[in-house]
Amino acid sequence: MRFAMLVLRFAPTPNGRLHLGHAYSALRNADLAERIGGRLLLRFEDTDSARCRPEYEAGILEDLAWLGVTCEPHPRRQSDHPADYDAAFQSLSGRGLVYPCYCTRGQLAAVSGERDPDGAALHRGPCMAVSSEETRARLALGDPAAWRLNLARAAAEVPDALYWPEFGEGDRETSVRATPRAWGDIVLRGKDRPAVYHLAVVVDDTLQGVTDVVRGRDLEPSTSVHRLLQALLGLPTPRYRHHRLVLDADGEKLSKSANSESLADLRERGVDAAQVRAALGFGPSVAPPIDVVLS
């Protein structure tokens, strides 16, 4: 598939401040957009209303301005578009490709012998820890359920092997085969969320006209699920450019959950944007340097 203009997006979750890993991804997006004359969009992936806050959105905008990353105005907020995700969900539901599930993470961990690429207990339908009788009774009472994709039925609707175009951090295209079976019956809609990441991201990328997805290698396994959903929903497949990760001193990727040092923290201790850009490979070396490990 050829695109008239490249459209990229930086899509953070506003549940904390950005760290160097986010900075690397934002700068990779901005660098590619500048080199090829493409557009760079900003998206706030904020369907988790319990953890996403307006002050974190403001902090992200502050961090991007400090880095010198300019996105187009009027970012898309997932929380503003539940109807878009519902339309996609209803398309799958109407074909019998989803089912309700009341299994908790703890219950799944106790009964499932498989793990998905993220290390979580893997679910393959029907429900593994809750009986069909209990499911029907709780549905009748209006108890909110999570809704999972029936992978076996979905695979039958897409009998051919699925692939996506992958560029990594270079310019040479390779073709990667999707392996959605590794994820089992993923949740598409949470008990209190109109869509989880996998469904929302493929809908968003289509509606925003995204042609190239630039994101970390930690998300590359998820692309198998996204490729399946694109096929089931008749959505276009963008080009993917999964990049290296920024690691800490112990060789672990940076994360908000691990309280990795944020860009705001770096500013407070006197680090400037030129030092960050140089350390991440997006500017000339400056003194004093900051140590960064990319892998």
Which residue has 């907020």 as its token pair?
77
Does the bond joining 288 to the residue before it have cis omega, within 30 degrees of 0?
A: yes
Distance between CA atoms of residues 101 and 125, nearest Å: 9
Rounded CA-CA distance 244/258 in Å is 19
**How many alpha carbons fall within 13 Å on the CB side of residue 251?**
0
Catalytic residue among 28, 148, 198, 256: 256
Q: What is the CA radius of gyration of the chain?
A: 20
Helix (H, G, I), strand (E, B) or coil at 172: coil
How many CB atoms are closer than 10 A to CB 54? 10
**Dist CA 180 CA 157 (whole Å):** 13
Q: Is the peptide bond before 126 cis (omega within 30 degrees of 0)?
A: yes
What lies within 8 Å, CB to CB, of 24 at 6+ separation is 243, 244, 245, 246, 280, 294
191 as an active site residue: the answer is: no
Can you read off the two tokens belonging to residue 154?
């979905």
Burial class (CB in 10 A: 0-12, 13-18, 19+), 93: middle
User: Is the CB of residue 3 less than 8 Å from the CB of residue 36?
Assistant: no
Instruction: Point out the residues that are catalytic.
Output: 256
